Structure 1
Amino acid sequence: MQRKERHALFWGLGQLSVMAGGLVWFKAGHALSLQWQLYLCAFFLSGGMVGYWAGTQFFIGRLKKRQARWLVPGIFIASGMFYFLWWFNNNWLVPGSATALGLLMLWIGARLISVHDRYRLLGLTLMLRGGFNLLSAASLGPEMYGVWFVGTSVLKVASMLGLIYAVQDEIQQRYARTIDSLSHGFLIRDRRGHIHVANERCAKLLGFHTAQELIGLHSSDLLPGLTHEMVDRYFERFSAVDVQYPITDTAVLNLRNGNQLPVELLGSPYIERGQLYCLVQLLDISERKKKDDLLYQAARVDPVTGLFNRHALSARLTQEIAKAASKGRECAVLFIDLDKFKRVNDSFGHAAGDELLRTAAGRMQHLLRPDDVLARFGGDEFIVVLPDLARGSAGWMAADCANDILAAMASGFEVSYHALRVTASIGIACYPQHGDDSDTLIRSADIAMYEAKKAGRGEQRTFHDAMNAFAKDGLVIDGALRGAIEANEFYLVYQPITNAHTGQLTKVEALLRWNSSLLGPVSPDRFIPVAEDSGMIIALGTWVLEQACRQVGAWKKGVLDDVTISINVSARQLADPQFVTLVSQALIHNGLSPHQLELELTERVLIDDTANVQAVLGRLRALGVGISLDDFGTGYSSLSYLTQFHLNTLKIDRAFVMDIEHSERSNSLVHAIIAMGHSLGLQLVAEGVETGGQAAILEKMGCHYLQGYHIAKPVPPEDLLRFASHLSGAVRTG
């Protein structure tokens, strides 16, 4: 069946041939002539000797193709030689045959012994057969053929046992070499758990010197915590229906040196002599486990700060909520956003930004209790979880923690040899008041954090339901905003700004309005913040710039020929690298002089990115475009901006103008602002002028321009044109 075992075929044919020769000589005399007897005996003896020789050469792997080609011719040549020898004297047939076979057996035995130790027993038995044949040829007469037959039979049985041993040993060695060549550990254990076979790799994995040391050990000696009952149950899995093999398990083995080895066990059934055994491969998964740990680390740990990332945080917060629910306790979530962090990355690079994040994380970690959780949620956002809080304490404990964090951030940072001041805005949400799952709590804290930012940054706010309603409204507006420009849902109205002394209309402010097909009219204070947050303010601001300049161009060669148009600009627009180019193109395409465009900025815009704002405003001033500071007096550091940014116009906030007739304090403040503006050479515009008395006081104080309902409400362009014509006629008449 197997090419490797064909030696048995040659030896079998040789043995049959020798037996056939004996039968011909001793039993076929009455049926054959002497001549045919001699020839057939010679032929069968030659065939037997050639079979033995070829089988031996094949057995030791030395039979060459050129030798195999001479086997059949060799039989006929040898049979011819024996035939002529015995023709002269047929008494030589029996001793001659015995001698020839004896010499061949001696050669075969010596040959086998010289090749490999495992063939030694077979070689010795064959040499004994050879020696017995020679002895028989020299001393045994016909009357002793029975003795010769018995002796030969015994030696044949011995040689057969030697052959079986040699073949079995070869198969065993082949089997052992095969399992030893495996890169994985391998063992065979019985139903009771005792090890019967193991390879050297298995021994090395388990800390043994040789595989033989494992033989006879019980599986529980290798696996910690494994009992005999567990071993029995393992075998029951092999008898289950529809089991998929191999059965895969993982375990940690206790080694003899005290170390532990993570392995994967692949078990398959094996039946031998009617008994069920288990073949087990042991795969060292140390490297795989290291990679798994690294992947686990990457999936759960932020690489910059070493804190939990958002996925790990969500899982941990879910656990803490479950614990709090089972114990009747509370927990709190603080959503922390570092204000103006983008400026650090833009100015000093991401390496400096990462250093700042690590420093900020270290400060926050120092303030927390051992069981509190700090995670980096993404970008410049962190989340703190305060778990296991007593009922009624979550709110004030979270507020105290937030105050501590704000104080820690306020002390400033040193990054890349630069002293930086980075504040934080913090939103707070508590379980169970503001949500009963991790996503809801984080979302609520996020909403509260944005409220803290709107309050001026560096603040904390606790979530309440009104915030949620506002956030939902923002989502609805955000969805409706997308595509609103293409649907022509926006339009501009224009509010006149007149000269306080002459009453002439020299400026107009373009104001954006939105009539949504989904929501109806939406006020600017609702949709502008949403557009800011979503980034759509850039596209919206570009549309306003183009439409306002186009309208001024349409007013050319009329009563509004030289009017200046004022439009509001956001921080995101100034940060857009294409903004100055867009302004320049809008002026050129509509034939406007640069002095006919004035850009209004709020103090918040100036705060956000001072270095970049100064650079952009410098390029705009080089174009000849005017720069106006809107809502002056309501910020924190307005006076310093007057010298930093070289503004053209100040717009006095309506909050001061509305009480100018009745409040001495407001009157004094407005007077001081106007006096300061004059000293700096700035144009002054008073917003929110609603009465003639306010207009008269402002004119007397030296305010240059008036804007408000006393002059006119914001109107469509055609109404403004009529208003300007009427005003121009009134001024000429006056």
Structure 2
Amino acid sequence: MGLILCWAGRRLIGVNKRYRLLGWTLIMRGCLDLLSAASFGPEMYEQWFVFTSVFKVLSMLGLTYAVQDEIQQRYARTIDSLSHGFLIRDRRGYIHVANERCAKLLGFNSAEELIGLHVCDLLPNLTRDMADAYFRYFETEGVQYPISNTATVTLRNGSRLPVELLGSPYIERGRLFCLVQLLDISERQKKDDQLYQAARIDPITGFFNRHALSLRLTEEVEKAAAAGQECAVLCVDLGKFKRVNESFGHAAGDELLRSAARRLHRLLRPADVLARFDGDEFIVLIPGLAPGSAETVGADCASAMIAAMGKGFELSYHAISVTASIGIACYPQHGTDSGALLHNADIAMYEARKAGRGEQRLFDDDMNAAAKDALMIDGALRGALAAGEFYLVYQAITNAHTGKLTKVEALLRWNSSLLGPVTPDRFIPVAEDSGMIVELGTWVLEQACRQAGRWKQSVLDDVTISINVSAWQLADPAFVTLVSQALISNGLSPHQLELELTERVLIDDAIHVQTVLAQLRALGVGISLDDFGTGYSSLSYLTQFHLNTLKIDRAFVMDIEHSERSNSLVHAIIAMGHSLGLQLVAEGVETAGQASILEKMGCHYLQGYHISRPISPELLLQFADGRAGAAPQPYTDYAI
């Protein structure tokens, strides 16, 4: 036993200097055991017993200390190895244990600096009352542990640190302590902020998205209701955005959205809200307005925005002209909740868009009725073409001098199985808004050319057939190919097809339209400007787009007999058309007197109820047979 104790003491001295005293104690006890075995005498029994007892007690105490110290060291190393801050505080708030991570988080050099400090010494903004209140949680029955709290603490160097505190009770020798973990949640907060951004901020413009705008609008409506104030909601739609994407790519489209958003935002007050709602549509919220002022403020803001958008943008080294159509709805006049206000502003925006680019409209109840009608028409349109509900009628266009039928206009009609007969002025705008106009226009082109092909062996063998074309069709990359195929498959000469465009189609995307019209002219197809005088009437269109035919709107023709002003205006249009080498067609001719005046003015063609109503292909053929070979004569009523 003595040898074993000596060997153990030597090992302790060599392995760990902290246990040197214990090692020498074991060696001394081992030596005493060896001496006792070798020279133990009865006369020294009492002294020997005292010495051995003392060394036994010292060695036992030393071993106990060593075991406890090892446990404590393992405990301390475990705490220090934690990736989170860790401390133990007592009831009064003083720290008994802390790890290195806790010290670094709180701006201290080492864990030893924390021992004995009060928690208020660690966190400058923490008061003793707050520290005591936190500890009382652990004395409350029924509390679920760990207790979790988040806070942003101010450190000694003035920086701010977001942390999560996980507290649990800890009892040692009958005393209650608080064991607290400190978790640095800076990265988590960054991710939360990113998620917040993704949920509420539009990634392209950096302004609110649809979700955030809806929440904010709900808040502002509640505030306005409580304070007796008003709000204005503006729905802003940018024209030509789709074509920018198609012509220059989505990167240019995104840059256009950013530039437009910044330009809109500069016009707003600090309290106003701008949001990108969808695609090229923005919503502007103007809150906190005095009673009775919302409509005026909204209209003034809309006018400023339309003017700002009209200045154009520079994208990819190209000057891009952009227009805005704006609808306005006000709280409480046009809705008492966010959903109704957004819906009604959107309806008003569509009305503004139908009126022409660069327009604004204030919502009224009639618009809501029109929107519901449009919704019903949109639903019925979906399967109408496949169900064979559409058909074409044809209106004669005769030579003003000879009365011979040389042209016809194909007009689309719809007899819905759900809604009954639906007039073009009701379903055409809905088809344009939904994009279905492209499919309908393709069907009209094919059907009209097929009918002209059927007339080949009749008196109408060389008739020119005129069809209306929308801006959506011209934007379709396959449109020119469709026209060419329709002519070839039906054996028609290109001069037998004339495409009618409105002035609005020409200005929506002048560069693209010029390109498409040049391709159509290369085919030999005629181009006609419809309803001249009722739209923008820029004379530059007549030379810029190299048109073949000019159609004088019925609004001028109807008063030509009784209004000197209308008579002079029509005369001027005809003279201008002659000087530009254009063919002239007068629409809406309803009396023999109108026909006679137009013929004397030099108008080339006449179209209207005085000549013929829109009729079926069979009736039109009969009408043409009656006209064939007839000698020129004063006009009488040829209406069918």
Q: TM-score, normalised on structure 2? A: 0.91
Read off the aligned partner of 1:231 and give its amino acid letter. Answer: Y
Cα offset, 1:145, TM superposition: 4.2
Question: Cα gap change, 1:258/1:529 in structure 2, threshold over 3 Å: closer, same or farther?
Answer: same
Q: Percent identity?
A: 78
SS of the equivalent of 1:248 reads strand
SS of the equivalent of 2:284 reads strand
Q: Quick one: distance in 1 between partners of 2:583 and 2:316?
A: 41
Matched residue, 2:79? 179
1:490 aligns with 2:390: yes
Q: Quick one: distance in 2 between partners of 1:267 and 1:718?
A: 92
1:422 aligns with 2:325: no
Asked if the contact 1:498/1:706 (under 8 Å) is kept, the reply is yes
The more displaced of 256-265 and 345-354 is 345-354
Q: Quick one: distance in 1 between partners of 2:385 and 2:121?
A: 76
1:503 aligns with 2:403: yes
Matched residue, 1:611? 511
Q: Quick one: distance in 1 between partners of 2:132 and 2:294?
A: 50
CA RMSD of aligned residues (A): 2.7
The more displaced of 186-195 and 694-703 is 186-195
Q: TM-score, normalised on structure 1? A: 0.80
Read off the aligned partner of 2:456 and give its amino acid letter. Answer: K
Cα offset, 1:602, TM superposition: 0.6
Matched residue, 1:231? 134
1:570 aligns with 2:473: no
SS of the equivalent of 1:207 reads coil
SS of the equivalent of 2:392 reads strand
Matched residue, 1:656? 556
The more displaced of 290-299 and 384-393 is 290-299
Q: Quick one: distance in 2 between partners of 1:672 and 1:732?
A: 26
Deviations 1:258-294 (A, max 9, x none): 2211112233444545555444322111122223223
| Aligned pair partner of 2:224 in 324, 330, 340 | 324
Matched residue, 1:695? 595
Matched residue, 1:716? 616
The more displaced of 305-314 and 515-524 is 305-314
Matched residue, 1:545? 445
Asked if the contact 1:656/1:670 (under 8 Å) is kept, the reply is yes
Matched residue, 2:67? 167
Q: Quick one: distance in 2 between partners of 1:348 and 1:587?
A: 32
The more displaced of 375-384 and 467-476 is 375-384
Greater relative contact order (Cα < 8 A, sep 6+): 2
SS of the equivalent of 1:400 reads helix
| Aligned pair partner of 2:494 in 594, 604, 607 | 594
Q: Equivalences for 1:453-468 in 2 at 5 Å? A: 453-468=353-368
Deviations 1:458-517 (A, max 9, x none): 232221111222222222221221121112221111112122222222221111111222
Q: Quick one: distance in 2 between partners of 1:217 and 1:486?
A: 84
**Aligned residue pairs, count:** 631
SS of the equivalent of 1:553 reads helix
Read off the aligned partner of 1:510 and give its amino acid letter. Answer: A
| Aligned pair partner of 2:142 in 217, 233, 240 | 240
Matched residue, 1:678? 578
Asked if the contact 1:374/1:384 (under 8 Å) is kept, the reply is yes
The more displaced of 612-621 and 227-236 is 227-236
Q: Quick one: distance in 1 between partners of 2:633 and 2:606?
A: 21
Asked if the contact 1:183/1:201 (under 8 Å) is kept, the reply is yes
The more displaced of 498-507 and 411-420 is 411-420
Q: Quick one: distance in 1 between partners of 2:409 and 2:21?
A: 114
Read off the aligned partner of 2:512 and give its amino acid letter. Answer: N
Q: Quick one: distance in 1 between partners of 2:320 and 2:619?
A: 51
Read off the aligned partner of 1:381 and give its amino acid letter. Answer: E
| Aligned pair partner of 2:524 in 620, 624, 627 | 624
| Aligned pair partner of 1:286 in 179, 186, 207 | 186
Cα offset, 1:418, TM superposition: 5.1
1:107 aligns with 2:7: yes
Deviations 1:143-180 (A, max 9, x none): 44454445334322322221121121111111111121
Matched residue, 1:22? none
Matched residue, 1:122? 22
| Aligned pair partner of 1:339 in 239, 243, 252 | 239
Cα offset, 1:731, TM superposition: 5.9
Read off the aligned partner of 2:13 and give its amino acid letter. Answer: I
Please list every run of 5 or more consecutive structure 2 residues that lacks an aligned counterpart in the other structure. Answer: 635-640
Q: Quick one: distance in 2 between partners of 1:530 and 1:206?
A: 65
SS of the equivalent of 1:387 reads strand
Q: Equivalences for 1:26-175 in 2 at 5 Å? A: 101-137=1-37, 139-145=39-45, 147-175=47-75
Cα offset, 1:642, TM superposition: 1.4
Deviations 1:596-635 (A, max 9, x none): 2211111111111111111111111122211111111222
Deviations 1:306-341 (A, max 9, x none): 333333322222222111111111121222333334
Matched residue, 1:389? 289
Read off the aligned partner of 1:293 and give its amino acid letter. Answer: D
SS of the equivalent of 1:382 reads strand
Q: Quick one: distance in 2 between partners of 1:718 and 1:279?
A: 97
Q: Quick one: distance in 2 between partners of 1:323 and 1:440?
A: 17
SS of the equivalent of 2:628 reads helix
Read off the aligned partner of 2:20 and give its amino acid letter. Answer: R
Question: Cα gap change, 1:321/1:683 in structure 2, threshold over 3 Å: closer, same or farther?
Answer: same
Q: Quick one: distance in 2 between partners of 1:582 and 1:141?
A: 129
Cα offset, 1:717, TM superposition: 2.2
Matched residue, 1:267? 167
Question: Cα gap change, 1:272/1:479 in structure 2, threshold over 3 Å: closer, same or farther?
Answer: farther
Matched residue, 2:335? 435
Asked if the contact 1:629/1:651 (under 8 Å) is kept, the reply is yes
Q: Quick one: distance in 2 between partners of 1:155 and 1:610?
A: 109
Matched residue, 1:197? 97
Deviations 1:393-427 (A, max 9, x none): 22222222333333444455555555554343322
SS of the equivalent of 2:467 reads strand
Please list every run of 5 or more consecutive structure 1 residues that lacks an aligned counterpart in the other structure. Answer: 1-100
Q: Quick one: distance in 2 between partners of 1:464 and 1:222?
A: 63
SS of the equivalent of 1:308 reads coil
Deviations 1:77-107 (A, max 9, x none): xxxxxxxxxxxxxxxxxxxxxxxx4344223
Q: Quick one: distance in 2 between partners of 1:236 and 1:654?
A: 91
Q: Quick one: distance in 2 between partners of 1:220 and 1:526?
A: 75
Cα offset, 1:112, TM superposition: 0.9
Question: Cα gap change, 1:519/1:217 in structure 2, threshold over 3 Å: closer, same or farther?
Answer: farther
SS of the equivalent of 1:555 reads helix
Question: Cα gap change, 1:386/1:113 in structure 2, threshold over 3 Å: closer, same or farther?
Answer: same
| Aligned pair partner of 2:277 in 367, 372, 377 | 377
Read off the aligned partner of 2:354 and give its amino acid letter. Answer: K
Deviations 1:537-593 (A, max 9, x none): 111111111121222223331232222221111001000001111111222222222
SS of the equivalent of 2:386 reads coil
SS of the equivalent of 1:565 reads strand
| Aligned pair partner of 1:644 in 541, 544, 551 | 544
Question: Cα gap change, 1:250/1:402 in structure 2, threshold over 3 Å: closer, same or farther?
Answer: same
Q: Quick one: distance in 1 between partners of 2:483 and 2:311?
A: 40
Q: Equivalences for 1:715-734 in 2 at 5 Å? A: 715-728=615-628
SS of the equivalent of 2:610 reads coil
Cα offset, 1:722, TM superposition: 2.8
Q: Quick one: distance in 1 between partners of 2:616 and 2:177?
A: 93
Relative to its length, the structure with more helix (as a share) is: 1
The more displaced of 644-653 and 590-599 is 590-599
Q: Quick one: distance in 2 between partners of 1:363 and 1:550?
A: 50
